[in-house]
Structure formats: structure tokens, C-alpha cells
Amino acid sequence: MIELHDVHKRLGTREILRGLTLKVPKGMNFVLMGPSGTGKSVTLKHVIGIFKPDRGTVHVDGQDVPSMDNQQLMALRKRMGYLFQNGALINWLTVAENVALPLKEHSRLPRSEVDDRVHQVLGMVGMDHAAQQFPPSISGGMKLRAGLARALVTNPEYVLYDEPNAGLDPIISHQIHELIAEVRDRLSVTGLIVTHSRACAVQCGDRIGILEAGKLAVEGSVDEMVRSEHPLAKAFLGGGAD
């Protein structure tokens, strides 16, 4: 379980998080929505220990993240994949080499085992055929699949997804949402998904929370949230939202 309790965080002169409390129980996808610049990415960075709260607590499976030393953080990040916007691949490495990176960072597996694992995870996201291509020559949807493969290669218990469908057309987005739901269902991965997209929230979420003014303004199951009369829920999830 990921648990943030009463998290406050000031960056520069602005207090970005102001008492954020958020719980992601094991096995579910929690969708975090909210206006641009409200601190959604900052929230994800607290979960993997890039940021420490000024006040409040961050726990993963009962372990206090802000007090972890480097070795403990490395261990945490092995259990926690991170899918960056647009995949964030390294252009001069092949898709397969990009996907292998977290394995090289976290373990001293023999080359053949690394190759097997990369092959397996690329197969899972439908990218086996593109293993030897370089990122500049593949489409946005393929980059995202490769980014997802990289997030999954260490067999994590958690994956943090930061805008997994930004810049993708609705058809490719739909495929990515299906993959994210499949990752939860087949691999029992717990997800924290940041998105602006109603389709993403509805297709792969279990619970949705909307961040505003540094805390969750409204939170509920997908069903509750699409029916909610709360103005933010209507803006992000109502009929007019995309």
C-alpha cells in the first residue's frame, strides 16, 4: 500500500502540497487528476523519494520513504516502476538496451538472463519486433510501450504512470489503457496513474482523486466520480471531458 498522510511541500515560494492524504491499496489503480501545476508529478516524486515532505508522512508497505538511505531507496525503486511522459527513452540506445537499463542498475544478472527478461517484457507490450530500433525512428505509441516495458522489467509490485497517454491519438491511447489494466490484472501490479484523460481514468482506474489547492478536493470509485456533482469531478469526468 502507498500511503501519503497530511503531506506539505513548498517548492520555491509556493506551497504546492498542503495536507495531501492519499491511499493506494494493493492491487488497484488509483488515478490522480487535477489542473496543471497542482503538484501531481510532485506527488509521484514523493512516492519514490525524489522529494521529501516538509511535513507529513509517506509510506510504502509501512516503510517510511523520506527516512530511507540510498541503499533502501534503490531497493524501493526496484519494486516500483516509473513510466515517464513520452516514455523518456534514451535516443542513442536501442529499445532493448533502454528496457534493460533498470536491470543493469539493480542487479548483476548474467547477460543471457537480461536478454531473456527484456525479450519477455517487450513481448508483453507487443514490442518484440522493434527491439533493435532506436527511439527517434519509432512512433509515440511505441515509445510509450517501450517505456512501459522498462517500467516493468524488474517485475515491480508498483508502477507510477505520469500521463501515460499524453500526445497519443484515441486509438493508441485505448490500447495503452488496456495494457495498464492488464498489468494490474495479470501481474497484480498496483498503479498510481496521473492523467488528464477521462478515457484513461475510466478505462484503467479503480478509484479517482482530484488534486486542487494541495490536497484531494474529491475522491471516490470510478462509478461515484463519473456521477459526482462536484464541479471538479464534472470538469474532469463529465460528458464534456475528453
Ligand X SMILES: Nc1ncnc2c1ncn2[C@@H]1O[C@H](COP(=O)(O)OP(=O)(O)OP(=O)(O)O)[C@@H](O)[C@H]1O
- Of 2-10, 37-45, 57-65, 179-187: span binding Mg ion (CB under 5 A): 37-45
Our CB check for ligand X shows the closer of 38 and 154 to be: 38
Our CB check for ligand X shows the closer of 124 and 192 to be: 192
Instruction: Give the three cell numbers for residue 169.
Output: 491519438
Closest separation between CB of residue 113 and ligand X, Å?
36
Contacting residues toward ligand X, per CB under 6 A: 11-12, 16, 34, 36-42
Question: How far is the CA of 150 from the CAs of 138, 141, 216, in angstroms?
Answer: 16, 14, 30
Judged by CB under 5 A, does residue 120 bind Mg ion? no
- Quick note: the x/- pattern for Mg ion over 169-208, rule CB under 5 A, is ----------------------------------------
Our CB check for ligand X shows the closer of 39 and 135 to be: 39
Our CB check for Mg ion shows the closer of 43 and 173 to be: 43
Q: What is the 3-state secondary structure (H, E, C) of the chain?
A: CEEEEEEEEEECCEEEEEEEEEEECCCCEEEEECCCCCCHHHHHHHHCCCCCCCEEEEEECCEECCCCCHHHHHHHHHCEEEECHHHHCCCCCCHHHHHHHHHHHHCCCCHHHHHHHHHHHHHHCCCHHHCCCCHHHCCHHHHHHHHHHHHHCCCCCEEEEECCCCCCCHHHHHHHHHHHHHHHHHHCCEEEEECCCHHHHHHHCCEEEEEECCEEEEEEEHHHHHHCCCHHHHHHHCCCCC
Closest separation between CB of residue 16 and ligand X, Å?
5
Judged by CB under 5 A, does residue 41 bind Mg ion? yes
Our CB check for ligand X shows the closer of 16 and 48 to be: 16
Closest separation between CB of residue 11 and ligand X, Å?
3
Our CB check for ligand X shows the closer of 29 and 38 to be: 38
Considering CB distances under 5 to 8 angstroms, the limit depending on partner class, which of Mg ion, ligand X, none binds residue 42? ligand X
Closest separation between CB of residue 131 and Mg ion, Å?
29
Judged by CB under 5 A, does residue 86 bind Mg ion? no
φ, ψ of residue 221 in degrees (nearest 5): -70, 165
Binding site for Mg ion (CB under 5 A): 40-41
